[in-house]
Amino acid sequence: MSPRSSPVTQARIAALANCSQNTVALALQGSTRISAKRRAQIERLAAKLGYRPSMAASGLRRGRSGLIGLYGRLDIIRTLLATELMVRLHGPSQKPILGLELEGVRPWHTGAWVDTLLALRVEAVVSFAWNDEPTVPPWASRTPVIFTGYDPDPRSVCDFVAMDRAGAVRMGVDYLVSQGHRRIQMLRYYPGKRIADAFEQAVRSHGLEPSIFPYKPGEDHEAILSRFLDQFRTADAPTAVFVLPTGFACELHAAAIRRAVRVPGDLTILAYDLTPALDSLRIPITTLDQPVVELAENAAAAVARRLQTPGAPPMHVTLGFRLNVRQ
35 sits near DNA (criterion: CB under 7 A): yes
Nearest in space to 253 (alpha carbons), one of 265, 170, 99? 265
Strands 211-212 vs 268-272: parallel, antiparallel or unpaired: unpaired
Q: Which of DNA, a copy of itself, none has residue 235 at its interface (CB below 5 to 8 Å by kind)?
A: none
154 sits near a copy of itself (criterion: CB under 8 A): no
Q: Which of DNA, a copy of itself, none has residue 264 at its interface (CB below 5 to 8 Å by kind)?
A: none
Positions 68 through 127 that interact with a copy of itself (CB under 8 A): 74, 79, 82-83, 86-87, 90, 95, 97-98, 100, 102, 112-113, 115-116, 118-121
The answer to whether residues 272 and 172 touch, using CB atoms and an 8 Å cutoff, is yes
Q: How far is the CB of 186 from a copy of itself (least distance, A)?
A: 20
**183: how many CB neighbours lie within 10 A of its CB?**
15
- Cα three-residue angle 295-72-70, rounded to 5 degrees: 70
Site map (CB under 7 A) of DNA, residues 4-23, x = contact: --xxxxxx-------xxxxx
Strands 286-289 vs 125-128: parallel, antiparallel or unpaired: unpaired
265 sits near a copy of itself (criterion: CB under 8 A): no
Q: Which of 60, 223, 254, 277 binds DNA (CB under 7 A)?
A: 60
**61: how many CB neighbours lie within 10 A of its CB?**
8
Output 32 or 178, the one with its CB closest to DNA: 32
Q: Which of 40, 44, 48, 62 binds DNA (CB under 7 A)?
A: 62
Q: Which of a copy of itself, DNA, none has residue 23 at its interface (CB below 5 to 8 Å by kind)?
A: DNA
Site map (CB under 8 A) of a copy of itself, residues 24-53, x = contact: --------------------------x-xx
Q: Which of 15, 29, 48, 219 binds DNA (CB under 7 A)?
A: 29
Q: Which residues bind a copy of itself (CB under 8 A)?
A: 1-7, 50, 52-57, 59-60, 63, 65, 74, 79, 82-83, 86-87, 90, 95, 97-98, 100, 102, 112-113, 115-116, 118-121, 138-139, 141-142, 144, 157, 221, 247, 250-251, 254-255, 257, 277, 280-283, 310-311, 314
Binding residues vs DNA (CB under 7 A)? 6-11, 19-23, 25-26, 28-29, 32-36, 38, 51, 53-54, 57-58, 60-63
